[in-house]
Structure 1
């Protein structure tokens, strides 16, 4: 098994109303393109064709996200794992009102992918955020998203 991602992208996206998303560049291939619909209330990570929604710990702030494309299932565990179908294999982060981040990563050819999500939260910053909310808050959460092709 490989011990490193083939490709990676470090990005940043604004969380609005407690959510942010990831979409395949083939937005027409998604049954409900971002931000239509909503993830189930009890789901922190929710996947459907060409789209993944993430529920954040705070309503309005910026998160850093590292996206990694692995040639096979990564040895690193995550907090959540989903399977999703990508019709182009190129993904980008989305904010609720701001749209795509403008940066994309090719995770591979069209197909079915596993996705492991690891989220690290800074509890001190999160507590300070709720004491004095500001939409420019940063450093509350950092995500690593690891994609690999399902066999």
Structure 2
């Protein structure tokens, strides 16, 4: 999957990917390219369900229905994105810090639908996760588990090197 790359100053977006990603078993993930996927730990599916759970070289993004296509935008930045990129409205938001020991990441049901998304550098990354439609998908799924929910959830995931 091709993605947009930019070059220039330190506050610039490095890459942007937008695609549909299949969730399986109620999640999709991001993993460090060439790194082992970390198994979920205790409390992985505890309610209320977090937007994401971070492990070394692996992030799990939690979706309520078992299987659906969700819209995902991933942006990697050289440093913290400018305020205009951070002020958009979303239904849910979570910020986490995770360590990626590779130069790039992949995203998908098992971390491999879109690969080679470059990071500014390996190491600690700040990740801002935003989602719209997750509560709507949850309500529709519990009202009728057979309902088609493709495209209800839209995710924006931004990564940049952490200063801590």
**Which runs of 5 or more structure 1 residues have no equivalent in the other structure?**
none
- What does the per-residue CA deviation read over 1:49-75, in whole Å, with 9 as the maximum and x for residues that have no partner? 110011112221011111101222223
Residue 103 of structure 2: aligned partner: 89
Counterpart Cα distance in 2 of 1:85 and 1:72:
15
Q: How does 1:129-144 map to 2 (within 5 A)?
A: 129-134=141-146, 137-144=149-156
Among candidates 35, 43, 46, match of residue 41 of structure 1: 46
Residue 18 of structure 2: aligned partner: 10
RMSD of aligned residue pairs (Cα, Å)? 2.6
| 3-state SS, counterpart of residue 6 of structure 1 | strand
After TM superposition, the score normalised by the length of structure 2 is: 0.73
Query: In 1, are the aligned partners of 2:105 and 2:117 still within 8 Å (CA)?
Result: yes
User: Cα gap change, 1:90/1:134 in structure 2, threshold over 3 Å: closer, same or farther?
Assistant: farther
Equivalent pairs counted in the alignment come to 143
Counterpart Cα distance in 1 of 2:134 and 2:40:
29
After TM superposition, the score normalised by the length of structure 1 is: 0.79
Q: How much has 1:108 moved relative to structure 2?
A: 1.8
User: Cα gap change, 1:5/1:85 in structure 2, threshold over 3 Å: closer, same or farther?
Assistant: same
